[in-house]
Amino acid sequence: MTSAIKRVLAFPWAGNIYTEQLYDEVEKQGVTVLEGTWTRRWLADTVRAHDVIHIHWPSFLYHEPRSQIRTYLRLVKLAAHLRFAKRRGATIVWTAHNLYPHDGGRDLAVHRWGRKIILAFADRVIVHGKSAARALIDEFNIVSSRLRIGHHPHWIDCYPNSVSAAESRSRLDIGAREFLYLHIGRCKPYKGLEALIDAFRSTPPPARLLIAGKFSSPDYLEEIKAIARRTPNVNVVPHSIPDDELQVYLNAADCVALPYREILTSGTALLAMSFGRPVVAPDLGSMRDHVNASSGILYDAARADGLAQALNEVRKRRFDPSATVEHVRQFTWSDLAALLLEATP
């Protein structure tokens, strides 16, 4: 750890379990963390030399979906605030959770400009895995010396896990012989739910597909519900799953299916494996760095039948839950916190 670092100014800290876990570990390593406020006054009153300004999702600092004018004004403010902080002697670190925001992505000029701005000022960029690093280099032409490569940490012991698989399946009314495919988490178009339901149709009985999570829009929910109604044994639970109930869904599942259209990092994949559940996911981004033969199946997303083949293949293999948990146990919050604290020029 660089001894000059005394404080991390977090954007954000509270309200997200990833950032809360990370910064709790940073404080355990003897460094103060402050919740950042993205205003010139707060920065002027707070930023000092050797502070680390740590940004996770830059679009939250500028994107105003209801006003394009306000969005571009906030982009200008983003650049001005970052320039001001660097003149104060702060180090700017961006953790790249994705290449672009999932809502709009590279198709929106505002997000392309947002990435140009954050990369113009960031001293270091943290990524979760070597494959994710390669994706950033290919997309943004970043020199590799600016990158710091870690891993997305596991979620073991972060959520309650005391309900057995048998009790979990009973609560969800899953038959003892049914193979349960689970998709869990916030439901957005980029997560490929339509393709998942379509591929599920090719799986032999007895099987069930459960899609659980809050939907990004009422229209998208109705679209998925309509597709599910035409497909036997597909159930949709369209609301956020409370932290203490995640164990019920995950322990009931035989595998967790995450057919992302595009992905750089997936905390949900690490969550599934932390509960000993194998993952079915595309061979993209950091999936290559976190999912191995003991913890899931990666399929070729370019193949039309890739997902369907993987859904059938996962039923033929035997996955040891304890081996899956031990695989992800190597990816720790303490290692990621240390990587952040070493990320100075």
Whether the CB-CB separation of 150 and 282 falls below 8 Å is answered with no
What phi and psi values does residue 186 have, to the nearest 5 degrees? -60, 135
Share of the chain above pLDDT 70, in %: 98
Task: Give the separation between CA 46 and CA 125, rounded to whole angstroms.
Answer: 23
Contacts of 304 (CB under 8 A, 6+ apart): none
The pLDDT value given to residue 5: 76
What are the distances in angstroms from CA 158 to CA 26, 155, 273, 329, 338? 16, 5, 13, 12, 19
Angle at CA of residue 66, ends 9 and 120, nearest 5°:
40
* Superfamily of the domain at 165-329: Glycogen Phosphorylase B; (3.40.50.2000)
* Helix extents (H) in 88-231: 109-121, 130-140, 165-171, 193-200, 218-229
Four-point Cα dihedral 291, 295, 297, 300, nearest 10: 0
Task: Give the separation between CA 280 and CA 283, rounded to whole angstroms.
Answer: 9
The pLDDT value given to residue 61: 96
The pLDDT value given to residue 345: 65
Three-state DSSP state, 60 = helix
Which stretches of the chain are assigned E, i.e. beta strand? Answer: 7-11, 32-35, 52-55, 91-95, 124-128, 147-150, 179-184, 207-212, 234-237, 255-257, 279-282, 296-299
Three-state DSSP state, 7 = strand
Q: Which CATH topology does 7-151+331-341 take?
A: Rossmann fold (3.40.50)
Task: Give the separation between CA 264 and CA 99, rounded to whole angstroms.
Answer: 7
Task: Give the separation between CA 170 and CA 54, rounded to whole angstroms.
Answer: 44
Pick the closest to residue 36 from 9, 15, 5, 55 (CA basis): 9
Task: Give the separation between CA 272 and CA 269, rounded to whole angstroms.
Answer: 5
In the chain, where are the structural domains located?
7-151+331-341, 165-329
95-130 CB burial, b ≥16 within 10 A, e <16:
bbbbbbbbeeeeebebbebbbebbbebbbbbbbbbe
Task: Give the separation between CA 92 and CA 122, rounded to whole angstroms.
Answer: 5
The pLDDT value given to residue 216: 87
Q: What are the tokens at 65?
A: 């979906």
Residue type, 255: C
Task: Give the separation between CA 236 and CA 229, rounded to whole angstroms.
Answer: 10
Residues of the chain with pLDDT under 50: 1-3
